[in-house]
Copies of this chain bind each other. A is one copy, B any other.
Amino acid sequence: MAKVEFNIACTLCDHLKDSLFNGLNPEDMSRINNHKTCIQYKKGQNIFYEGTRPTGLYCMNGGKVKVYKNNVQGKEFIIYIAKPGDFLGYRALLSEDFYKATATVLEDAKICFIPKESFFEVLQKNPVFMRRVVQAVCNEMGIMEEKLAELAHKSVRERLAANLLMLKETYGMEGEGSTLIELALSREDLASIVGTATETVIRLLSEFKTDGLIAFEGKKIRVLDARKLAKQADLIIA
C-alpha cells in the first residue's frame, strides 16, 4: 500500500472554515501551507501509533479517523473520531509527550502533515492563534470530563443512546423527521466507543430498532426518534 500524495492549498481547502487555521493571517497561512505534505490513506491504514513520538501535526482534509487506546487484552477504546477540519495528534505534540493513542483510518482519508517546527513557529509568533488552540484543547478537556462521568455512572444502554445522539450531532445528515449518521461504523467500533462488548451493542441496537428509535441503512444508522433516544440516555427525566 504505497502512500499517495496529493496537494491542495490551505486557502482553498474546503474545510478551512471548520479548522483552527481559519482566520490565520496570510503570512502564517503560507508558512503552514508551504511546509505541509498531504497524503491519501486507505481504510485500515494507521496515521500514528501509541508509544511513538510526534514529529508534527495532522490536519484532516477528508475521511474519518478513529483515535483509540488498546488495553492489555487487546480491547480497544475509541477516544474520538476525527473528521475533516480536525487536528490530529496535537495533544502529544503540545505536551512534548509520546502518543498515548493510535490513529487508524475508518473511511478513506486525506490528511495533511505539518512539521512540528512550522506549527510551533506560528504558535509562537501568533498569540491569537495560540489562544484559540488553548481554548480548543480546554474545550475538549471539558468533553472528556463529561465522558468520564458518563462512563462511571451510566448503564451501557444509556451510554449507547447518548453516543448515538452524539454521533448524530457530529455526523448527522438531516432528513425529513429523521437523521442519517454519515459514518459506517462496525458493531465492534461502536462497542469500542461505548466501552462495552460487541454482543451487547448488537443486542441493544436491535432493541432500539424494534422500539422504532433507529433504523439500519446499509452500514449506517438512521435516528428516527431522537427524543425517545434521549430518554433512553437518561438525558430527559420525563
Select one of B75, B139, B147, B237 contacting A148, CB under 8 A: B147
Contact B138 A148 (CB under 8 A): no
How many angstroms between the C-alpha atoms of A90 and B152 in the bound complex? 23
24 A-B pairs with CB atoms under 8 Å apart are A69-B145, A69-B146, A71-B149, A72-B237, A77-B152, A79-B148, A79-B149, A91-B145, A92-B142, A94-B138, A95-B134, A95-B138, A95-B139, A101-B145, A124-B127, A127-B127, A130-B130, A134-B134, A137-B138, A144-B144, A144-B148, A151-B152, A151-B195, A152-B195
**A227 beta carbon closer than 8 Å to chain B:** no
A183 at the interface (CB under 8 A from B): no
Q: Verify A153–B195 contact, CB threshold 8 A.
A: yes
Cα(A195)–Cα(B147), bound, Å: 12
The answer to whether A97 and B149 have CB atoms under 8 Å apart is no
Task: Provide the bound-state CA to CA distance between A63 and B142, in Å.
Answer: 25
CB-CB < 8 A to A151: which residues of B?
Answer: 148, 151-152, 195
* A15 within 8 A of partner (CB): no
Choice from B72, B97, B139 contacting A234 with Cβ under 8 Å: B72
In chain A, positions 74-106 with a C-beta closer than 8 Å to chain B are: 75, 77, 79, 90-92, 94-97, 100-101
Distance A225 CA – B134 CA, assembled complex (angstroms): 41
| Chain A: number of interface residues, binned into ranges | 35 or more
Q: Does A8 contact B (CB under 8 A)?
A: no
Q: Which residues of chain B are within 8 angstroms of A96 by Cβ–Cβ distance? A: 135
- In angstroms, how far is the closest chain B Cβ from the Cβ of A149? 4
Instruction: Confirm or deny: A14 has a beta carbon within 8 angstroms of a beta carbon on chain B.
Output: no
Does A220 reach chain B (CB closer than 8 Å)? no
The distance from the CB of A73 to the nearest CB of chain B, in whole angstroms, is 8
Q: Is A20 an interface residue (CB 8 A)?
A: no
Residues of chain B contacted by A139 (CB below 8 angstroms):
95, 97
- B145 engages A144 (CB within 8 Å): yes
**Contact residues in B for A195 (Cβ distance below 8 Å):** 151-153
Residues of B within 8 A of A91 (CB): 138, 141-142, 145
Residues of B near A69 (CB, < 8 A) are: 145-146, 148-149
- Residues A135 and B71 in contact, CB atoms below 8 Å apart: no
Residue of chain B at shortest CB distance from A100: B142
